[in-house]
Amino acid sequence: MPNSDMLPNLLFKLYENQLALEASIMEIPNWIEQRGSADVAENVRGALHTIDTNEEFIKLTLAVLIAPD
């Protein structure tokens, strides 16, 4: 497989990793909040909002890059 053919697969795997990291990190603010630190929990949720904001663009771009010609 030529290196250029590997790029879409690499990008898709990175995207999958991003989603897995987001899901696991989303548990942290819940844990923090249960221990009485609502401000810290909100800060974490705010940072995670960037991932949510960019998710649709990443998904659409990957669909274009990976789509068969």
10-41 residue pLDDT tens? 888 988 998 899 899 989 999 999 999 999 99
50-64 residue pLDDT tens: 888 888 898 888 888
Residue among 11, 18, 20, 16 at smallest CA distance from 66? 11
Domain that holds residue 37: 3-66
Q: For the whole model, what pTM was predicted?
A: 0.66
The total domain count for the chain is: 1
In the block, which residue shows the tokens 């990793």? 17
Q: How confident is the model at residue 1 (pLDDT cuts 50, 70, 90)?
A: low
Q: In angstroms, rounded to a whole number, what is the distance separating the alpha carbons of residues 48 and 55? A: 11
